[in-house]
Amino acid sequence: MTTPETAPPEDGRTSRGALSPVLTAATLVVLLLLGAAVGLFSTTGAGWLTFYWGAGTQVRALVVVGLLAFLALLYGACRLCAWGGRRPSAAVAFAAGFLASVIVLVGYTPGGDLLLTNHLVHNAYLFGAMLVLVLAVIRSGAFAFLTEPPRVPSVPRGYQSARPSE
């Protein structure tokens, strides 16, 4: 005989078991590495944005359009990570990997080569990527606990309220 405390949930959910935290941790590690790889390749590519900067207005317009398209794709990728991982921490892991990779590449490169200079487009890439990732993490719900009211546990079926009905 089951009591309400030992009965399985009626909504069809089952126990997650011990495998769920392991899979979550593995997913977050993979997303962290994916973000680092995207940061590595995109920073190297962003270094080439100003190569033909002096070629004219059309080239400058293409560079700005390409940068805006990249930032839109970066936002979508971060939101996709949160959706695919079914939790905001997936977006945080992707963004942390991306930003860690970018900070390492900008801070020091072996041999003294500079990937990004103090050019307007390079600064727009750096600060735009940071802004886009912050917005994507916030929109994914990573800080929802700051704005949501606290959850009140519901009363299981079969229990009567302590107050008498009127």
Kindly tell me if the per-residue pLDDT of 3 is higher than 60. no
CA-derived radius of gyration, the chain: 24
The pLDDT tens digits of the residues spanning 31-87 come to 999 999 999 999 888 888 888 888 888 989 999 999 999 999 999 999 999 888 888
pLDDT at site 94: 95
Q: Which amino acid is at 91?
A: A
Kindly tell me if the per-residue pLDDT of 102 is higher than 70. yes
Task: Kindly indicate the confidence band of residue 136, based on its pLDDT and cuts at 50, 70 and 90.
Answer: very high
pLDDT at site 156: 67
Strand runs (DSSP E) across 11-117, as ranges?
none
pLDDT at site 21: 82
pLDDT at site 13: 55
Residue 70 CA, distance from chain mean position: 15
| Contact (CB, 8 A) for 88 and 140 | yes
Overall average pLDDT of the 109-113 stretch? 64
* Token reading at 147: 């704005």
pLDDT at site 68: 95
CA atoms within 13 Å, Cβ hemisphere of 38: 23
Q: State whether residue 29 is helix, strand or coil.
A: helix
pLDDT at site 1: 47
What's the chain's average pLDDT?
81
| Contact (CB, 8 A) for 105 and 40 | yes
> 151 to each of 16, 34, 58, 87, 162, how far by Cα in Å?
21, 34, 55, 18, 20
**Among the listed residues 92, 80, 83, the one whose alpha carbon sits nearest the alpha carbon of residue 133:** 92
Winning range, highest mean pLDDT, from 15-24, 113-122, 151-160: 113-122
